[in-house]
């Protein structure tokens, strides 16, 4: 890695930065792909976010920035534009800076999830999907899948209103996908889904309940996780034992550097 | 190089950044020394300098920044403090950010020159010095040498007022060094200096006159350059032919990363 005046600079804006390794993941991938981009985390307090974003607008060699906790849902108000994905999801995780300083926010998680599926040989078009969890990443996944033409999404989330609101948002954008929402997975009658997704945090901690009952984990289905640690959750362990195709939480992260470089217009 | 949330971030603030490689030079040296510091150039217009400096004050993981053209002489007014060196020289090239956001400007060129001398085995204390050139880097060198107790400096600069003003400033800070100033090297009577320094740009271009007449280049003297390209100027070529010790322009740059890390409190 060789950072010079010709290098395109990126930041990751966070508040507490100590835990951040995403800059390194991006830098490694960019270097592997021969892209002259360097990413540094910057510790920015919420009260300084607007000023920092305004400053970045004026820094000619900055290509854009990533956004993480606690700035993801608030940064949009300081940007000139957001993509339909970021608008629908209500959160921005990458921002492009155009030559003229114009900033555009995007949410790349849905595309990342879809690219991760494809990297595992799963084409989303036409699939019947069971998704549990409608939080930030769950929203991105549901929008991302509907954008690719999945046939249906059965969306389960403890907070029924949240599930319903996501369902409405997804079908409002993509009429070709049927979305059924529910607060209780016991209400889901179908059992032979093509793709079962855990978009909750269940599985991170020893002793967590399975996010979906065992009878949804059937041979021939693909089972995908958003939990990244452990790499093999109890859900994925069960799925492997039942000869499902399994997709770990890391799969949606791995395509991100390439997607980010493309979004920034650098690849 | 592995940039994470624990990495101390540095910038180099410039206006046009295309030509900047100093970030790479610093990064390489920091990595070689096992220091977790990452330096990126940032393109900052003069009208944005104050806002950028104000922003850096608030970025908790930023250790400081380098300053280059056109910000070196104006940045001080936006800082909480400057070191005596920067104050005397009237230019800042590195700024430390303390934990509380306080910014202190420093000029490291004098220390760099002295460290370069020592790395070549030349101890400045007690030397009789002939220096031509009293521009930015010349100021730094004269102050740096006087701080180390050279016996005398004969300072020649086409602009007599500039030479006189530097002489007054140096002796004001360091009474132990005799400084004689002149607009014309013909006025310099002594010829057996211990250390002859070219602090002008003469030697950069083919056909440039020698910065000092040949009779000052005598066996036993050390001849030092600030010109970095070519690495061997006609002056250094002559000095080598006359069995002088020669110190190229790069010598004052090589110690800079270690001096910067120490100034920032990171080594």
List of domains in chain A: 8-107 (3.40.50.10860), 110-251 (3.40.50.720)
Q: Does B134 touch chain A (CB under 8 A)?
A: no
Q: Which of B5, B7, B18 sits opposite A5 (nearest CB)?
A: B18
Q: Which of A18, A39, A52 sits opposite B3 (nearest CB)?
A: A39
Q: Does A26 touch chain B (CB under 8 A)?
A: no
Token readout for B222 is: 């050390």
pLDDT tens-digit readout, B85-101:
999 999 999 999 999 99
Q: Say if the Cβ atoms of B48 and A55 lie within 8 Å.
A: yes
Give percent of chain B with pLDDT exceeding 90: 98
For residue A245, what are the β-bridge partners?
A: A222
pLDDT tens-digit readout, B162-193:
999 999 999 999 999 999 999 999 999 998 99
- Residues of chain A found within 8 Å of residue B46, distances taken between Cβ atoms: none
A22 in Cβ contact with A28 (< 8 Å): no
For residue A104, what are the β-bridge partners?
A: A81, A96
Q: In the prediction, which pLDDT does B131 show?
A: 98
Task: Return the residue of B nearest to A40 by Cα.
Answer: B3
Q: Say if the Cβ atoms of A23 and B17 lie within 8 Å.
A: no
Per-residue pLDDT, averaged over B113-138, amounts to 97
Give the residue from A249, A144, A3 showing the smallest Cα distance to B7: A3
CA A185/CA A200 separation, integer angstroms? 13
Cα dist. A50→A55, A57, A68, B55, B170 in Å? 9, 11, 15, 11, 45
Token readout for B260 is: 């910067």
- Residues of chain A found within 8 Å of residue B65, distances taken between Cβ atoms: none
* Interface probe with B: pick from A3, A22, A54, A56, most Cβ of B within 10 Å: A3
The percent helix, strand, coil of chain B (3-state, each to 5) is 35, 20, 45
Q: In the prediction, which pLDDT does A234 show?
A: 97
B58 in Cβ contact with B3 (< 8 Å): no
Q: In the prediction, which pLDDT does A267 show?
A: 87
Cα dist. A207→A230, A248, B42 in Å? 13, 19, 48
Output B105-108 pairs: Cβ under 8 A, ≥24 positions apart.
B105/B67, B105/B75, B105/B76, B105/B79, B105/B81, B106/B82, B106/B263, B107/B83, B107/B140, B108/B256, B108/B259, B108/B260, B108/B263
- For residue B59, pLDDT over 90 is answered with yes
Q: How much is the ipTM here?
A: 0.92
A 62-101: CB under 8 A from B: 62
Please, what is the angle between helix A256-263 and helix A109-119, to 10°? Answer: 130
Task: Return the residue of B nearest to A41 by Cα.
Answer: B5
Q: For chain B, how far is it from start to end, CA to CA, in angstroms?
A: 17
Q: Say if the Cβ atoms of A6 and B23 lie within 8 Å.
A: no
Q: Which of A3, A9, A45 sits opposite B24 (nearest CB)?
A: A3
Q: Does B55 touch chain A (CB under 8 A)?
A: yes
- The owner of tokens 């032979």 is A192
Q: Say if the Cβ atoms of A2 and B24 lie within 8 Å.
A: yes
pLDDT along chain A (267 residues), means of 10: 97 96 97 97 98 98 96 96 96 97 98 98 98 96 98 97 97 97 95 96 96 96 96 97 97 97 95
Task: Return the residue of A nearest to B17 by Cα.
Answer: A5
Output the CA angle B143-B148-B153, nearest 5 degrees. 55
CA A244/CA A45 separation, integer angstroms? 44
- For residue B12, pLDDT over 90 is answered with yes
Q: Say if the Cβ atoms of B4 and A27 lie within 8 Å.
A: no
Residues of A belonging to the active site: 72
- For residue B67, pLDDT over 90 is answered with yes
Q: In the prediction, which pLDDT does B267 show?
A: 87
B226-255 residues labelled b (16+ CB within 10 A) or e (exposed) = bbeebeebbbbebbeeeebbbbbbebbbeb
Tell me the torsion sign for CA atoms B84, B88, B89, B91.
positive
Q: Say if the Cβ atoms of A39 and B4 lie within 8 Å.
A: no
- What are the φ/ψ torsions at residue B41 (nearest 5 degrees)? -70, 145
Per-residue pLDDT, averaged over B73-85, amounts to 96
CA A149/CA A175 separation, integer angstroms? 9
A231 in Cβ contact with A254 (< 8 Å): no
Q: Does A50 touch chain B (CB under 8 A)?
A: no
Mean pLDDT of chain B: 97
- Residues of chain B found within 8 Å of residue A23, distances taken between Cβ atoms: 3-5, 7
State the nearest Cα–Cα gap between A77 and chain B, in angstroms. 19
């Amino acid at each position: 890695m060789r950072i010079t005046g010709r290098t395109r600079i990126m930041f990751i804006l966070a508040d507490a930065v100590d835990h951040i390794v995403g800059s390194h993941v991006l830098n490694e991938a960019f270097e592997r792909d021969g892209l002259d981009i360097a990413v540094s985390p910057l510790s920015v307090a919420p009260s300084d976010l607007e000023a920092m974003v305004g400053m970045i607008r004026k820094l000619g060699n900055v290509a854009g920035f990533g956004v993480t906790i606690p700035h993801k849902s608030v940064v949009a108000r300081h940007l000139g534009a957001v993509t339909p994905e970021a608008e629908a999801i209500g959160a921005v995780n990458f921002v492009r800076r155009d030559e003229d300083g114009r900033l555009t926010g995007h949410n790349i998680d849905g595309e990342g999830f879809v690219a991760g599926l494809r990297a595992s040989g799963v084409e989303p078009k036409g699939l019947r999907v069971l998704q549990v969890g409608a939080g930030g990443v769950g929203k991105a996944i549901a929008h991302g899948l509907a954008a690719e033409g999945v046939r249906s999404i059965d969306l389960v989330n403890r907070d029924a209103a949240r599930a319903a609101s996501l369902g409405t948002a997804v079908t409002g954008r993509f009429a070709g996908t049927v979305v059924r929402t529910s607060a209780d997975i016991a209400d889901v009658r179908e059992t032979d889904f093509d793709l079962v997704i855990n978009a909750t945090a269940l599985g991170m901690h020893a002793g967590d309940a399975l996010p979906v009952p065992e009878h949804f984990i059937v041979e021939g289905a693909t089972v995908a996780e958003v939990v990244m640690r452990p790499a093999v959750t109890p859900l994925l362990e069960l799925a492997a034992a039942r000869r499902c195709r399994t997709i770990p939480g890391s799969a949606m992260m791995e395509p991100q550097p390439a997607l980010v470089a493309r979004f920034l217009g650098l690849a």
